[in-house]
Structure 1
């Protein structure tokens, strides 16, 4: 049986840390400054604290400040600006086409951003399902419920799924649910909950997992 590949988006399919993440972080900081009436230093510290505490800045803003998700997600992920900042490997589309099995995209980003990035990369057609944070009931990874939502809606058995991620907490959560795990990293170490570590996505074609 061919596996179902569940891919992360940011820093997995494209290099978000180069320019996209810094821009989103600036937009989040500005949003917090406007809506909470605090200075840049305090807003930056709060953004980082909520990201560490909840896995997503939005969760902290919802819980402690009553911020509505839609306004935050739209304001902080302006695709007209972010598209120009995208950096990805030209062979990504060919890799996804050649990789046997169904593909699902699972991201903590908002749906309009996830769809926009995939379209810009011209890889949207390779994914049978695409899940931004709204489709996860605003429950971001690594919360187990985010994975369970995808498994339930797609009718998937976790034992037949392979999670491809750059984030160790997300892989740890996927492994606990019974998935196989692939860590995209240049690190020399490999935690016990990581089945395979790859330096580049193209290595997926020769792993033998499928």
Structure 2
């Protein structure tokens, strides 16, 4: 027998989806880390620790100083990788291979998420500041790899990360996507500013109560504010997507 609480939550998501006008969406774009999988998996914590270790090895700094430099790069350049490339002449391929050499087995299959994504009408993509190899490992572990048309990774963006507009423009141009008919799902509010400006519907995916928010969030001032560029906020991506599919199925195309 269906859980009444789950049913009520789904109806709530559906009402929100209708109010935000997703009926025009034909392309669904998802960030990867802490968006497709929950922050509670602590997968990104592994990456974050590897980034610090990489900075330590490259610079000879102690852990605290390397951490401070890592966060300086993140604030100034959008990602630590972009900062080290700009200021230290870093080889991005070596960096990405090192920081994504992690234990992906902490992720478990997500059949509810897979079913919800599969029901979305139109095209589906992953847009990530990480590497294709990492994205494919994550998607395979979750059981959603076959549901996406492509992964647009940091290399495809010429190593220019979100939230820079050039990264989004390159993605949209490559795949012939009209922003006004697309939706973007992200766990970082700042990465939704450009999509909203371009006309995409935007959804901020937040941790559930008690889940860690991830070290790359830095401070509340950096990214906690949803702002006018966020059309909706959810801490239940599978439920929200299921509601979108229901709404889409009921709308004439």
Partner of 2:232: 196
Q: Name 2:46's counterpart in structure 1.
A: 23
Specify the alignment match of 1:150 in structure 2: 171
**Corresponding residue for 1:59?**
82
Q: Is the 8 A contact 1:58 1:69 kept in 2?
A: yes
How many residues get paired?
208
Q: Distance in 2 between matches of 1:41 and 1:177?
A: 39
Alpha-carbon distance in 1 for matches of 2:124, 2:231: 19
1:107 aligns with 2:128: yes
Structure ID, larger Rg: 2
The normalised TM-score by structure 1 is 0.90
Specify whether residues 5 and 125 from structure 1 end up closer, same or farther in structure 2 by C-alpha distance, changes over 3 A only.
Answer: same
User: How far apart are the structure 2 equivalents of 1:57 and 1:45?
Assistant: 11
Q: Structure 2-normalised TM-score?
A: 0.76
| Partner Cα separation in structure 2 for residue 13 and residue 123 of structure 1 | 9
Higher relative contact order structure (alpha carbons within 8 Å, sequence separation ≥ 6) = 2
CA shift digits 1:74-118 (9 cap, x unpaired): 01111xx32122257441111111122210110111121111111
Structure 2 residue 153 is the aligned partner of structure 1 residue 116: no
What SS class does the counterpart of residue 29 from structure 2 fall into? strand
What is the CA distance between 1:161 and its match in structure 2?
Answer: 0.5
Q: Per-residue displacement from partner, 1:142-180 (whole Å, max 9, x unpaired)?
A: 111111111100001100001111211111111011111
Structure 1: segments with no counterpart, 5+ residues: none
Q: State the Cα deviation string for residues 10-63 of structure 1 (Å, max 9, x = none).
A: 111102464212211221111111111111111111111111221110111111
Instruction: Structure 2: state its 5+ residue gaps.
Output: 1-23, 210-223
Q: CA RMSD in A?
A: 2.1
| 1:205 corresponding residue in structure 2 | 242
Task: Check whether the contact 1:14–1:87 (CA below 8 A) recurs between aligned residues.
Answer: no
SS of the equivalent of 2:156 reads helix
